[in-house]
Structure 1
Amino acid sequence: MIHISLAADTITINQSLSGDQTIVSEHGVFELGFFKPGNNSNYYIGIWYYKQVVSVQTIVWVANRERSISDRFSSVLTMSDGNLVLFNESKSPVWSTNLSSTTLGSVKAVLLDDGNLVLRAGSSSSQPLWQSFDHPAHTWLPGSKLGFNNVTKQTQMLTSWKNAENPAPGPFSLQLDPNGSNSLIIWLNYLNLSEQYWSSENTRWNYFE
């Protein structure tokens, strides 16, 4: 597969991604674009380590986990009304950053060297309008968070893939104990029921300087 990089880390109002186009973080650590896991015939928008960092494509974040697309060349990831939006081959939105109000026209999406995809207003370096670190998928990257987001009122947790070829949410999830014990808990979710599978509460941790 040939990847065509835009030689930039940013998607602005006048840019979009389609087909094999990608963006790469400033110092070449992470890459974002369309990918197809294994023999799956569907495509997803994801972030992976750049090939000079990890030679085998290693996905760390997926945007449209539950709504794949079938044709990456007629689908597009673009800025629309101040949001980063993925439109499928029928030009219907299948994923969005879903911000209710933004500074239209000046918002851009930037892929950072820590693997965080952020929306920023103009050249402002202040708190991002939206960031993928607030919406973790299955990988916990340094700097990302697990917990409860008081702004979005969402629990930030990791959720496994269904299987190696399907990034839709699978049966296992990892989160901080909602009861405030600061322990990590793995839940097994099946038949609309959740059962505690593992807890770090009784696990001894070794810390190294």
Structure 2
Amino acid sequence: MYSSNPPTIVWVANRETLVSDRFISELKVVDGNLVLLNESKLPIWSTNVTSTASLNSAIAVILDDGNLVLRDGLNSFEPIWQSFDHPTNTLLPGAKFNYNKRTNKSQLLTSWKSTDDPGVGLFSLELHPFRMMVISKWNRSQQYWDTGSWDSLVIRAYYKYTYQTNENESYFTYYAYNPSTISRFIMNVAGQLQLQIWSASTKEWNFLSAQPETQCKVYALCGAFGTCRQTRLPFCNCLTGFMPRSESEWNQSDFSGGCVRKSNFVCGRNMEKPDFLMIKVTSLPPNSFVAVKSNGKCRTTCLNNCSCNAYSFVGNNCSIWDGELLNLSEDNANGKTLYVKAMF
């Protein structure tokens, strides 16, 4: 939790293995490690360090900056383990966000699966291994945003920040000029990195910046066969002839599951031949392959190909998509034309 009222969750130990009864479950120090026991008293999470402390002297403390630390209560105030080294979706002031040059691994801020599920979501933030910037990725693979420069990440009027590099690591740290300011960087469930400040008067988080600035620039925000339009709420909508894969998740603004066809066609049966839905998109989806060089043949090729889901004919080139269509951002005025196979 964080020192807002009501409390805000900024770190979760057991993201993928939740407890069933939080009143019976127990967090305790066992043999020099901090261990979470479930309602059956079975360990489901541990700091898992080889402690240099006496097995009986290790203690766990939450510091004023929000850092949960495990340390030797008798001999040292240096942490044996600390939550700041294992961030979930939030970076707090004073925490180092680093790239380890020895292990070639970057710390990650990863979104929750939904507003109610702290499991690891699809969107992540990491420090670039070679350049002085941070980058956002979808599914740990597709980059969709980067800072370009540190000035686009933070607002100097409120914060001071540093970027340090040495033979062991590179890292980014930030602090509020006003130490009483309660703030956080968060990778939210919709894939935006937000810098937020807590308002004591309204008892809510207000964001100073969000990156990418527009929600539809987040890669695959609306999942497969979902389209994003910045001028409407919610941002995501299923293509005509499609419906949410999970209605309950969609109603909770979790669009990552995308959409599926309302009626599936049976390949090879002429009586169930599909048609094509024309849409205009900011950019064509990835992972296409080029086929014939005729608009008519392009349509026929996709129509007769059981695995083809869409086609586009631009500049005398026919592009075919045979997988799920991702990253469809609508642009009816200046967009590129895409024909999606569907049943109506």
Q: Where on the TM-score scale, by shorter chain, does this alignment land: which range?
A: 0.5 to 0.7
Mapped partners of 1:143, 1:84: distance in 2: 23
SS of the residue corresponding to residue 84 of structure 1 reads strand
Relative CO higher for 1 or 2, CA cutoff 8 Å, sep ≥ 6?
1
Q: 2:59 aligns with which of 108, 123, 148?
A: 108
Q: 2:94 aligns with which of 130, 140, 143?
A: 143
SS of the residue corresponding to residue 71 of structure 1 reads coil
| Post-superposition offset of 1:124 | 4.0
Mapped partners of 2:102, 2:30: distance in 1: 23
| Post-superposition offset of 1:85 | 0.2
Deviations 1:65-121 (A, max 9, x none): 111000122211111010010011121111111012332101000100000011111
SS of the residue corresponding to residue 84 of structure 2 reads helix
Equivalence for 2:145 = 198
Structure number with higher helix proportion: 2
CA contact (8 A) 2:112 2:119 kept: yes
**Pair 1:207-2:156 in alignment:** yes
**Pair 1:175-2:122 in alignment:** no
TM normalised by structure 1 equals 0.68
| Post-superposition offset of 1:157 | 1.5
| Post-superposition offset of 1:199 | 0.6
| Post-superposition offset of 1:126 | 3.8
CA contact (8 A) 2:109 2:126 kept: yes
Mapped partners of 2:75, 2:101: distance in 1: 23
| Post-superposition offset of 1:144 | 1.1
How many residues get paired?
155
Q: 1:73 aligns with which of 14, 23, 27?
A: 23
Structure 1 residues 75 and 151 mapped into 2: Cα distance closer, same or farther (>3 Å)?
Answer: farther
Mapped partners of 1:159, 1:65: distance in 2: 11
Structure 2: runs of 5+ lacking an equivalent: 161-344
SS of the residue corresponding to residue 86 of structure 1 reads strand
CA contact (8 A) 1:138 1:161 kept: yes
CA contact (8 A) 1:160 1:170 kept: yes
Q: 1:99 aligns with which of 49, 63, 82?
A: 49
Equivalence for 2:11 = 61
RMSD of aligned Cα (Å): 2.2
Equivalence for 1:122 = 73
Mapped partners of 2:104, 2:52: distance in 1: 19
Amino acid aligned to 1:77: L
CA contact (8 A) 2:51 2:80 kept: no
Equivalence for 1:164 = 115
Amino acid aligned to 1:87: L
Structure 1 residues 92 and 149 mapped into 2: Cα distance closer, same or farther (>3 Å)?
Answer: farther
Structure 1 residues 145 and 82 mapped into 2: Cα distance closer, same or farther (>3 Å)?
Answer: same
Mapped partners of 2:104, 2:149: distance in 1: 29
SS of the residue corresponding to residue 167 of structure 1 reads strand
Structure 1 residues 194 and 125 mapped into 2: Cα distance closer, same or farther (>3 Å)?
Answer: same
**Larger Rg, first or second structure (1 or 2):** 2
Structure 1 residues 152 and 194 mapped into 2: Cα distance closer, same or farther (>3 Å)?
Answer: closer
TM normalised by structure 2 equals 0.42
SS of the residue corresponding to residue 120 of structure 1 reads strand
Amino acid aligned to 1:138: N
| Post-superposition offset of 1:148 | 2.5
Identity %, equivalent residues = 53
SS of the residue corresponding to residue 133 of structure 1 reads helix
| Post-superposition offset of 1:155 | 2.5
Equivalence for 2:2 = 49
| Post-superposition offset of 1:187 | 0.4
SS of the residue corresponding to residue 129 of structure 1 reads strand
| Post-superposition offset of 1:145 | 1.7
Structure 1: runs of 5+ lacking an equivalent: 1-47
